[in-house]
A and B are shown apart, each in its own frame.
Chain A
Amino acid sequence: MTWEPVIGLEVHVQLATRSKCFSGSATLFGAPPNSLTDPVVLGLPGALPSFNRRALEMAITLGLACGCEIRARSRFARKHYFYPDLPKGYQISQYDEPLCEGGAVEVGGRAIRLRRIHLEEDAGKNIHQAGGRLSQVDLNRAGVPLIEVVSEPDIFSAAEAAAYMRELRELVRWYDISGGDMEKGQLRCDANVSLRPPGGSDLGTRTELKNINSFKFVAEAIEHEITRQAAILDEGGQVVQETRLWDADAGTSLSMRSKEEAMDYRYFPDPDLPPLEVDGEVLARVTSRLPKPRSAYRSSFTAAGNLSDEHIDYLTADRARAERYATVAGSEDGRLIANYMLQDPDGRLEAGHLKRLAELQRTATVSGNGAKQIIVELLRRGGDPDRIKDELGLAQVSDAAEIESIAADVVAANPSQAASYRAGKTALLGYFVGQLMKKSGGKANPQLASDILKKLLES
């Protein structure tokens, strides 16, 4: 029997603030253990939280980008459990009144609805050597701000789940909210997976899949879970509601069932943090600074009609690049500049130089190859296109008379090839063009050279 998978994803996004969510320690990755702590992070007696404005702005930014409703008043809540990487014995999170509700993420033309986005703080790291009796705890990560993005169970395949994750990654990178690097733990995915008969509307029993820590494993782990559940249901069995951990090395998941049963998080509003109010002014400020979405750039670049899909994907891959290209999109040099930018992934070339170079190439002052060389030099040592063109002697010879003269010499110096060409081996044109280019020290306009040689050989 075929079953219809129904998947909801809970994704934690680490926010790229400079300081932590509730205190001023830095949020650096890879720092020496326990070097980024303070009384608040350590949960020392008497320490109190104070909330990072930037974390709020980033969360609102993503909420607006996904079309969520931003609550005028939301609350922080304490979520209690005991674990060595959770210093206070509770995590500051949001429960009843999350910052954002509703909204959607578009994946493959379909809108995957969001249930909520809420703010919380990260825990530290518990490190355990296999076989050892002890764990070591590093609290550098404790207190880093997170947002949790919870989708509705609107995803219907493992592949779609992976695409959703990739789209989320692109979104958080686009809006400078997070690096979105799953391997660095900046993006973490928990999947809720259940199966139902095709065409059904009720939800089956779901399991929660955790420890999926790379994009590669998103589809693999979910696919594995779908298969596992299908096998149970095919035999007439019942899927047990539980939490399972993905084991990437083994390619399977392990049940964590018994640990989960004890979890009563005892949520209540955090008395140390008054309600979070987002008024019209804050919303207006964040909205006014909200960058145009990628889709807007894709549309306008496509509308220019002079770029391939590959160009458009590349130019909209990150916002800085899209914004740079937007200044020239649709112009007559749009395609040329797009090609130049392909050589400059880090975006180091000045817009003015790109425009000048396009002008030089468009007027055949330099060849396409010549332009490429100029870009290499610009990236290597700066300068400007005109100077480099002169220094490297890249100005093309486009004077027909001059080329005709060299062409005549080349044909005269290669009588047997000329004869072969006239006998029908027209591919030899390339040979003659090469010879002409060599004789001109690479300066001849190759298109013109080709035309002139052809005329000469065929006359």
Chain B
Amino acid sequence: MAALTREEVLEIALLARIHLDDDEVDRLQGELSSILEHMEALRAVQTDVEPMTHAVPMALRLRADAVEPSLPIEEAVGQAPDRADDFFQVPHIIKSGK
């Protein structure tokens, strides 16, 4: 595997919601392909083990169902790049929504 096509780079950039200039796409195509090539060695390693998803084995601790104070509204929305009254404001998605 290893080498990424330009299309794949653009697909990944879309999934990650990152706008790339043309030369960024080109550069990343080369860099990512090169990095991925180094990862290829892993495929050959024999791994008949459980994936190590957590560094330290532990069970999830449970929190009591008690209400704690929320942030004041102004602290919650006060630094939004765009707002309308106490709402966050964003451009509307053009196609039909959820």
Contact = CB atoms under 8 A, between A and B. Distances in A.
Is there a contact between chains A and B in the complex with CB atoms less than 8 Å apart? yes
Interface of A: 17-19, 23-26, 32-39, 41-42, 50-56, 75-76, 82-84, 126-128, 132-139, 210, 245, 254, 256, 258-259, 262, 264, 266, 269, 271, 273-277
Contacts of A38: 68, 70-71
A256 B98 CA distance: 9
A299 B45 CA distance: 61
A274 B88 contact: no
A84 B97 CA distance: 11
B47 interface: no
B73 A32 contact: yes
Interface residues of B, number: 37
Contacts of B66: 18-19, 24
A413 B96 CA distance: 81
Interface of B: 14-15, 17, 53-54, 57-71, 73, 76-77, 84-93, 95-98
Given A133-B92, A275-B59, A127 B68 contact: no
Contact of A52 (B58, B65, B84): B65
B73 to A, nearest CB: 5
Given A133-B91, A271-B54, A275-B60, 14 more contacts: A19-B67, A33-B86, A33-B87, A37-B76, A39-B71, A76-B60, A126-B98, A132-B92, A139-B76, A139-B88, A210-B98, A259-B95, A262-B14, A274-B57
B22 to A, nearest CB: 22
A264 B12 CA distance: 10
A33 B86 CA distance: 6
Contacts of B85: 33
Nearest to B62: A53
Count chain B CB atoms within 10 A of each CB in A32, A34, A56, A127 and give the residue with the most: A34
Contact of A42 (B17, B69, B76, B97): B76
A68 B68 CA distance: 33
A277 B96 contact: no
A45 to B, nearest CB: 12
Contacts of B92: 128, 132-135
Count chain A CB atoms within 10 A of each CB in B53, B59, B60, B89 and give the residue with the most: B60
A42 B72 CA distance: 12
26 contacts: A33-B73, A33-B85, A34-B73, A34-B76, A37-B76, A42-B71, A51-B60, A52-B63, A53-B64, A54-B64, A83-B98, A133-B92, A134-B84, A134-B91, A136-B88, A254-B96, A256-B95, A259-B95, A262-B15, A271-B54, A274-B58, A274-B59, A274-B60, A274-B61, A275-B59, A275-B60
Count chain A CB atoms within 10 A of each CB in B69, B70, B77 and give the residue with the most: B70
A43 to B, nearest CB: 11
Chain B interface secondary structure, helix, strand, loop or mixed?
Answer: loop
Count chain B CB atoms within 10 A of each CB in A19, A42, A136, A264 and give the residue with the most: A136
Contact of B65 (A53, A127, A266): A53
Given A84-B88, A137-B89, A258 B95 contact: yes
Given A24-B67, A25-B67, A37-B71, A134 B89 contact: yes
A48 to B, nearest CB: 12
A19 B98 CA distance: 26
Given A37-B76, A136-B84, A245 B96 contact: yes
Contacts of B59: 274-277
Contacts of A82: 17
A258 B64 CA distance: 42
* Closest 4 pairs between A and B when the two form their complex, measured CB to CB: A24-B68, A136-B87, A54-B65, A53-B62
Contacts of A256: 95-96
Nearest to B58: A274
B20 to A, nearest CB: 16
Nearest to A89: B17
Contact of B53 (A24, A50, A271): A271
A165 B16 CA distance: 37
